[in-house]
Amino acid sequence: MLVFLMVSYWGVRQRRNLKLKENFFKQNGGIMLQQLLYKSESTAERAKIYSEEELKKATDNYKESNIIGQGGYGTVYKGVLADTVVAIKKSKVVDRSQIDQFVNEVILLSQINHPNVVKLLGCCLETPVPLLVYEFVTNNTLFHHIHDEGCASSIPWGMRLRIATETAGALAHMHSAPVHIIHRDVKSANILLDDEYFAKVSDFGVSRLFSLEETHLATLVQGTFGYIDPEYFHSGILTQKSDVYSFGIVLLELLTGANVVSFVREEKDRNLSMYFLSAMEDDRLHEILEPRVREEGHASQIRGVAELAKKCLRIKGEKRPTMKEVEVELAMLTELNIQNNYWVGIGPNVEEIEPLLEDIMELYGSNSTSGFDSMNMPDDQRR
């Protein structure tokens, strides 16, 4: 009798858990996602729908030692699925009114194949909050390599310039996709690095999609303090130029190695953007550069990147460059090969560089979408 009761209880519990998973699957847009995946022409581009048991097993039941990141939006675990190391993001909350948007983002992001964007592999919808499965990137974040104790000045100037160019290219690619994607939380903590220090833009958890006809969207302000576009912060109007502003702050981190917000600095300079703009106005840029940047960087390159960052930080979004223009300028600055011209206040200034930049912009076209055309280009060619 006891065995019978235990088996009956176990059976009832299993059926209840199965029913609960089915309800979560429906609430999280599982049926819609399945239908859209079925219509997808290429099976290679389809996001995979994982079961809860698969992800539990992959993370050893979400063992604490497998946590590789935590933030305001959730926790990221390292896991192993079919002998492949993955990153599994477990969000804290989900907005049921935005399920359609979530499903569309999963479909679109899983189809993006760009060497500098973290690949979305799939999701699990059998839990109260959907779980997202990404490719695993091995070498921590750009924030870690710039700011964490023991890592300061660890990245050479040339590598910093390449990371900036790759990140700009990834964002330009997202902005020019058939359905525009605005990241909305661009920051050094969301730029991952692989073993060779190639950049991978990650965490599209608060990203928004735009149709080709839309140029802006009224939305609740989201992002990270210190990186948020002031125009977006005050108006609630989100545009692609909001990502440009945030990227400008990342450029400042790469140049100065300074924290985005610091209470060690004077009150007027606590925000990194104000600290930088004040130094530029007083012709003190060399004083705030990270020592390794000052020692290794060519004067023309440093001035060029600083002037580009200044353009990205313009208060009015319409006066900022596009991410494609930013990518092209950085690529041009990277190609400059000026011997024996380190930061000693000599050498050509940014006015001498700008005609070259105008030439390359004319070559590429300021509205070029060639970044999206390269989505299937092999990594070695893209790099």
**Catalytic positions, written as ranges:** 185
Which burial class, exposed, middle or buried, applies to 60 when counting CB atoms under 10 A from its CB (0-12, 13-18, 19+)?
A: middle
CB atoms within 10 A of CB 361: 17
Determine the Cα–Cα distance for residues 45 and 51; give it in Å rounded to an integer. Answer: 19
Give CA separation, 257 vs 108, 152, 187, 311, 341, in Å: 34, 7, 14, 20, 22
- Strand bridging mode 131-135 / 84-91: antiparallel
Query: DSSP state, 268?
Result: G
Please tell me the distance from the alpha carbon of residue 376 to that of residue 157, in angstroms, as a whole number. 29
| Alpha-carbon distance values, 41 to 38, 45, 134, 211 (Å) | 8, 8, 22, 21
In what helix (H) or strand (E) does residue 212 lie, and over which residues does it extend? none
Contact 295, 151 (CB under 8 A): no
